[in-house]
Structure 1
Amino acid sequence: MIIHQFYDKGLAHASYAVIRLGKMIVIDPARDPQPYYEFAAFNNADITGVIETHPHADFISSHLEIHQTTGATIYASKLLGAVYPHETFDDGEVIQLADIKLRAINTPGHSPDSICVLVQDENGNDKALFTGDTLFVGDVGRPDLRENVGNITAAKEKLAHQMYHSTRDKLMHLPQNVVVYPAHGPGSLCGKNLSPDLQSTIGRELRENYALQLMDELTFVKTLVADQPFIPKYFGHDVDINKKGAEPFAKSIASVPKIKHNASLQTGVLVVDTRPQDQFKNGHVKGAINIQDGNKFETWLGSIVGPDEVFYLIAADELSMDTLIKKAAKIGYEKNIKAALLSPTTGLEKLPEVDTEDYTFHPDHYTVVDVRNWGEINEGKIFEHSISIPLPELRERLNEIPTDKPVVVHCAAGYRSAAASSIVAGKITTVPVYDLGEAVTEVGNQKSEIGD
């Protein structure tokens, strides 16, 4: 038996292939199916099945495309309400893969329709558990993503109660040597305390996972619901797409229009400029938002831009453009791209540079906006007089920023403040808008030294 993990660092997403005697099953595949085809070919295996542990919120799955291309059967819980061709796969049901078995375990908690998949070897021994978003290394799945979307909706407290029983009544009774293969690693917004490790065992999780420690049900619910990270705008959108099945990946990205760099852009259409912040500050389309290409581009695109918004995509070069279209497609946003283009060279605006010395010694001369996440803000402000508006909320709360003084925007390291300052500058034009950028650490330390 071969078990192989495919890992997308940008979305902190893990998918899997299980191969036995020339047959292969894919579990929770990413949007681009090509890596699974190549792995099957390398191992002289035929893809015979695709399992969806639940309708994913944070990425688009290629389950339907794999079925259409290979004829593989899609398996999902009957509770999912899938409208694509599939076979239901619920408690006790088994997929026979040559001489090994994959057994379904219904584990509601992260979502009402979550399943885990237990692999039993040719001798009937429990060997591996694909846990989807139910059990992570060091955590369990957040329970607050299905209050308004999906075939079944449920309050977060109800799902947290279900997670308590899924873990205590089912998963924690499995043999301790069973290897745990989750659908996410660190950086995923599907949990709050994920370990850097990408696999574990039941025994290790029993010892180290805070959510599996001895506690009563009400304490568990209170603990699980508290302090979950923000929910990106695109999450509900992706649940709905995955319930139906997405269009073929290559065809969909190829349909994105590409236009000349100095082409006229339609007024009123959002512009997303993905170039590095220094290039953006030196010249950009009026009103553009600077969401830089990077490891978390997909997450920030889907957190700042709504799933119903159309936008132009500006890239630094042709190679970056193609990469960014693919990244947008991973969260189902390729259809939102009105057109992709390289940076225009005419009619550009610049962002001013902040005088950090003046800001350090005269902070009262500025309105300071802290765009870090609530978890960071609750641990303490960097500048006491700042206004707290996390980046995912900023576009909806711009009217809360006073315009009687220059505005300084900061985060923890510079990436988010680059996006945030561009958003603020696109709306507030009566006073300068500055990005404190990477200088936030230096300025914060200086202010501590002078007693601010």
Structure 2
Amino acid sequence: MPLPSSSTPAVQIQQFYDKGLAHASYAVRAGRQMAVIDPGRDPQPYYDFADEHDAEIVAVLETHPHADFVSSHLEIAQETGATIYCSKLTEARYPHKSFDDGDRLKLGTVELHALNTPGHSPDSISILLLDDLAQTRAVFTGDTLFVGDVGRPDLREAEAVGGHTREALAAQLYRSLRQKLMALPPTTKVYPAHGPGSLCGKTTSPDLDSTIGKELATNYALQPQSEPEFIAALLADQPFVPKYFGHDVQLNKQGAPSFEDSVRSVPRLGGGAALAPGVLVVDARPAAQFRAGHLPGALNLQDGGKFETWLGAVVGPQEPFYLLADTQIQLDAVLRKTAKIGYEGNIKGALLAPTPLPATSPATDVAAVRAHPAQFTIVDVRNRSEAAKKLFDHALLIPLPGLRERVGEIPTDKPVLVHCAGGYRSAAGASIIEAGLPGVAVYDLGEAVEEFVER
């Protein structure tokens, strides 16, 4: 959704924020020319903004090949004739112009300048905005600098995405911050590609923009420290890496097909359609409806604020699945969210919940859990950093992203009780265990977990 814009007499900056992916993209308009920076998969908001201001999209700039969402840079270029700009280090496989240190792009009466700022990825750039008086007004930092945080350096270690060690990238980030971004005027506005909840950082502020001066004063990563100290602090307690991240890096280097065409190409199935055996069913209905009736072996991944992230965390990028929802509106919504991470091609069919739904899940007796927790095998599906604060003694910690692969580690001599921090992940976890351990009673503590948290 578009957020309030920032403007000077010569230029207007409009931020578009996708809360589900914690992703911020930007339109920079100078007169009747417009550039788009780090666009999301759906290009329509940028077209609408250009139409509203009678502007022509002449440039699309990518700060790096994103891991957590699919960009519409190629689609926008094909639709509008705009030129795509990115670092030559990206080795992009779509038509583009290199945009590296010293390169400039004229946009109306202002200019955009490239800064190579490797660290989050080896091909990361930041983009300076200079006004008509050649004064630095803003910097679009991609995943290099966030509000209160910096980009994580551990997403390019697999050979498929470069085989760069996290330590080497962290050292590059240390130098990029100090030699490039921290040297900018303190009044320079900072516009990052992500906000709170992004898995591209770890302590991101709820604020969606900042200034260099504010970050110098408050951002832990910009405080005086040696390079080894910075690397140690940065690498500590990074969140998990979803399965889809490497897939999206490669897709963004290639350029994704049309968003709407891709969504329309997903097969729609009638309620009585036969589903292929052995293919995963992702059921996006609320947990209560899922427990009351579902298809055997289905995964309950509820539609919500982070549906696409959890889909890409639990389901592999090459794994086919059926997508099931309760209403046509919900089905369309989760289809579009699936496409935002480039998984629409994995869907063998999208369908509304059929009848009958023969499998059910037992209700949890919370009082019994409180009185006799030792009568359950308790599985904690939170992340390791969260689990440092235990809710139950002797709980088995298996974070949700790896649960499907590790379900065989769970003892089956007692009923299984699954919990997380708020109920969303435990619903998914309980459905995974139920499918993986047939015949074992599996209970979801759900939102009742809050009763077990020390206040």
Q: TM-score, normalised by structure 1?
A: 0.97
2:360 aligned residue? 350
CA contact (8 A) 1:298 1:328 kept: yes
- SS for the counterpart of 1:284 is coil
Q: Describe the superposition over 1:338-392 as per-residue Cα deviations: whole angstroms up to 9, x where unpaired.
A: 00001111252100012222222222211000000111012x2100111000000
2:240 aligned residue? 230
2:8 aligned residue? none
Query: Could you list the runs of 5+ residues in structure 1 that have no partner in the other structure?
Result: none
Matched ranges for 1:292-311 at <5 A: 292-311=302-321
Off by >2 Å, runs of 4+ in structure 1 = 149-153
1:10 aligned residue? 20
2:183 is equivalent to residue 179 of structure 1: no
2:122 is equivalent to residue 140 of structure 1: no
- SS for the counterpart of 1:395 is helix
- SS for the counterpart of 2:190 is strand
CA contact (8 A) 1:260 1:342 kept: yes
AA aligned to 1:80 is T
1:317 aligned residue? 327
Matched ranges for 1:366-445 at <5 A: 366-378=376-388, 380-444=389-453
Distance 1:262 1:351 in 2: 23
Distance 2:28 2:413 in 1: 61
- SS for the counterpart of 2:251 is helix
2:296 is equivalent to residue 268 of structure 1: no
Matched ranges for 1:2-401 at <5 A: 2-148=12-158, 152-378=162-388, 380-401=389-410
Q: CA deviation at 1:152?
A: 3.8
Distance 1:419 1:266 in 2: 22
Distance 2:324 2:54 in 1: 41
CA contact (8 A) 2:147 2:208 kept: yes
Q: Describe the superposition over 1:304-351 as per-residue Cα deviations: whole angstroms up to 9, x where unpaired.
A: 100010000001100111111100000000001100001111252100
Q: C-alpha root-mean-square deviation of aligned residues, in Å?
A: 1.1
CA contact (8 A) 1:112 1:153 kept: no
CA contact (8 A) 2:137 2:189 kept: yes
CA contact (8 A) 1:185 1:197 kept: yes
When residues 65 and 149 of structure 1 are mapped into structure 2, their CA distance, relative to the original with a 3 A threshold, is farther
- SS for the counterpart of 2:430 is helix
Q: CA deviation at 1:86?
A: 0.1
When residues 326 and 140 of structure 1 are mapped into structure 2, their CA distance, relative to the original with a 3 A threshold, is same
Q: Which moved more, 1:321-330 or 1:353-362?
A: 353-362
AA aligned to 1:83 is R
- SS for the counterpart of 2:435 is helix
Q: CA deviation at 1:427?
A: 1.2
Distance 2:193 2:130 in 1: 19
Distance 1:151 1:413 in 2: 34
AA aligned to 1:437 is G
CA contact (8 A) 1:403 1:430 kept: no
Distance 1:410 1:150 in 2: 34
- SS for the counterpart of 1:349 is coil
AA aligned to 1:432 is A
Distance 2:114 2:57 in 1: 19
Q: CA deviation at 1:226?
A: 1.0
CA contact (8 A) 1:6 1:15 kept: yes
Q: Describe the superposition over 1:87-130 as per-residue Cα deviations: whole angstroms up to 9, x where unpaired.
A: 00000110011221100000000000000000000000000000
CA contact (8 A) 2:60 2:73 kept: yes
Q: CA deviation at 1:21?
A: 1.5
When residues 151 and 422 of structure 1 are mapped into structure 2, their CA distance, relative to the original with a 3 A threshold, is closer
CA contact (8 A) 1:2 1:18 kept: yes
Distance 1:442 1:29 in 2: 41
AA aligned to 1:184 is H
Q: Describe the superposition over 1:122-173 as per-residue Cα deviations: whole angstroms up to 9, x where unpaired.
A: 0000000000000000000000001115664310000000000000111101
